[in-house]
Chains A and B, each alone.
Chain A
């Protein structure tokens, strides 16, 4: 899952990005409104964490511009805590609102919920046959027994599970699993898929050669 953090305060941006990376998100960063908007348009992020008071142009402007073309889930992170501000933020197309100062664990829980909901998934648990994926703890169980997945493998499983029944193209996988700083190898995804099949069963993921991957429902 790939997240964009738009925040001009370096200390805060580092902490948020670091914290999300440690939860195995691919994280891109932007320090001002213009860069933020550029990146948000360029990549299809799973969620955007957006500060409101930004140099160049502010978060409101970014949100208004982005909503013309994209429906990416946006979480507003700001020091403005009045009811009017929250209402304004949500009414202008934000999906969640969190006031500074905040707790990183709350932020990441909200980001998880945002991503889940944007895929129409209400519960934190996704059940596919005998496989149960818990997005809150990032654990996978098969037939009641925990399965040991690497962080990448887990992210890939979550991505495919959230989009189950739909074909997930190879480029989509690159977009959502690796961040802008990564030099990904073209066959890396195939290696991960091979490992996932080994751990969760041969038929868990289907490969459509030349198109991508799919978890059949």
Chain B
């Protein structure tokens, strides 16, 4: 669960959302609280200033406080009453009235009104910022200023009401924050799910895709988005896997057919011969048939192994300099008796040319191609084998005016086991692998092969192989295309 991308996305989203909302709401509350307290402080300060102004009328310095009681000082000047301004005392709402106290420099109290019980000057040495507490229930805020002749003026009041109001505000803010968080988290979860749903569909399709069932594909809804492109790419990869699997399956089916047929011949011939006593002619016939079947079988096995080796390595196993023209001449000599029997005229135009590679394999290529040219020919047909140097490569051309290959077959002739005309191929003993092998060997040697043909006109096979001097000693490996 914790590994799920949706889960992790949601966690990150939640963490960020919570920190942002909590931070903003806290700042909001603190701001509101500070504004309210500043308001109260301003109010108290202005009250203290009024008292300060009133106090300046008294001759505090000349008043010998040690000899006369403080009450005389106030009585002597009774027109002047030390009290808070009326607008502050008669508040519009039922705010508790502020209290105040004035102390002389020597610490004696000049006047006080409504000082809280258990008030003590020491304990109420509070800063402007923090509310002073003088009782268990009262939350008090006080302002003290220094008045004339070193006197101390203190004005304060109960701010419980404001604090309660602020607490209510805090609750409202918290509720609001919760709402925002809930909405944000739900939205985030929904968003994460809807973004990741295509991924779930992809993983579902990919997990159902198997050798047994290659039909599952991802349903691509939007082709423009990143996930849509990914889905398209995956679908293409599935297609390629299916195609190569089909080819492999076809190859296996063909190979098993080609291998089983001669085996069936051998087995049935032997079983028939063993059923009863036979004449020696019959035994000879059985053995001849078996021998040709086993020859076919071993040729086929040889070809299959060659193909497997070609598939396995991307380079020839040997790096020998080969005179292609000499190899071609030898192939023609080998082929001549067969060609004479088929009444096909063999001609050659050979120019010395050297390639690097495996001489046996190069000979095999030329021989296979030559064999095809003779086999798929007709009496009095012609085959021309030419070797030339063209630019950086050796060009080998095999041209015949034989039966040719139809356009529909031409696309498939290099496929394994593909035979345009099965009956004819069987007569010539071909396995249907010759061209595949030739193509594999040429590709291994870094060359190319093209086949051009017209039905009833003939076939031209053109092979290009890198000329020896042009070939780097250690060829740079092509980057492998993974997909």
Q: Say yes or no: A79 contacts B261, CB within 8 Å.
A: yes
Name the CB-closest residue of B to A54: B422
Please give me the 7 A-B residue pairs with the lowest Cβ-Cβ distance, nearest first.
A55-B423, A11-B265, A100-B264, A15-B268, A79-B260, A79-B257, A101-B264
Verify if B35 is at the interface (C-beta below 8 Å from A).
no
In the complex the two chains form, what is the Cα distance from A163 to B332 in whole Å? 65
Given contacts A8-B423, A19-B275, A53-B257, contact A100 B269 (CB under 8 A): no
Given A79-B256, A104-B272, A11 and B289 contact (CB-CB distance below 8 Å): yes
In the complex the two chains form, is A15's CB within 8 Å of B265's CB? yes
Decide: B268 and A19 in contact? CB cutoff 8 A. Answer: yes
Report Cα–Cα, A87/B275, bound state, in Å. Answer: 33
Q: Is the CB of A100 within 8 A of B275?
A: no
One digit per residue, 1 when the CB lies within 8 angstroms of any chain B CB and 0 when it does not, for chain A 1-30 equals 000000011011011101100100000000
| Bound: A81/B262 CA distance, A | 16
With contact pairs A8-B423, A8-B426, A80-B253 given, residues A105 and B271 touching in the complex (Cβ less than 8 Å): yes
Nearest CB on B from A209, distance (A) = 41
Query: For the complex, what is the distance from the CA of A99 to the CA of B267, rounded to whole Å?
Result: 13
Nearest-CB distance from B405 to chain A (Å)?
17
* Complex CA–CA separation, A214 to B466 (angstroms): 81
- Chain A interface residue count, CB cutoff 8 Å, equals 27
Inter-chain CA distance A82–B254, complex, in Å, is 12
The contact of A12 among B253, B261, B275, B421, by CB within 8 Å, is B261
A-B contact pairs, 24 of them (CB 8 A): A9-B261, A9-B264, A9-B265, A9-B426, A11-B289, A11-B292, A12-B264, A15-B269, A18-B272, A19-B271, A32-B423, A53-B257, A54-B422, A55-B422, A79-B256, A82-B253, A100-B261, A100-B263, A101-B268, A102-B268, A103-B267, A104-B268, A104-B271, A104-B272
A101 touches B263 (CB 8 A): yes
Distance in angstroms between the alpha carbons of A81 and B266 in the assembled complex: 19
Most buried by B among A8, A22, A55, A81: A55
Contact A80 B257 (CB under 8 A): yes
Return chain B residues, CB-CB under 8 Å to A101. Answer: 260, 263-264, 266-268
Q: With the chains together, A9 CA to B422 CA distance in Å?
A: 11
> Which residues of the partner chain B approach A15 to less than 8 Å between Cβ atoms?
265, 268-269, 271-272
Interface residues of B (CB under 8 A from A): 253, 256-269, 271-272, 275-276, 289-290, 292-293, 421-423, 426
- Give the complex CA separation of A216 and B292 in angstroms: 52
On chain A, the residues within 8 Å of B292 by CB distance are 11
- Give every chain A residue within 8 A of B262 (Cβ-Cβ): 11
What's the minimum C-beta distance from A17 to chain B, rounded to whole angstroms?
A: 10
| B263 cross-chain contacts in A, Cβ below 8 A | 100-101
| Least CB distance, A196 to chain B, in whole angstroms | 26
| B276: chain A residues within 8 A (beta carbon) | 22
For the complex, what is the distance from the CA of A211 to the CA of B131, rounded to whole Å?
A: 134
State in angstroms the CA–CA spacing of A66 and B256 once bound together: 27
With A22-B275, A79-B260, A100-B261 known as contacts, the answer to whether A12 contacts B426 (CB < 8 A) is no
8 Å CB interface, A60-98 against B:
78-82
Across-interface contacts of B267 in A (CB, < 8 A): 101-103
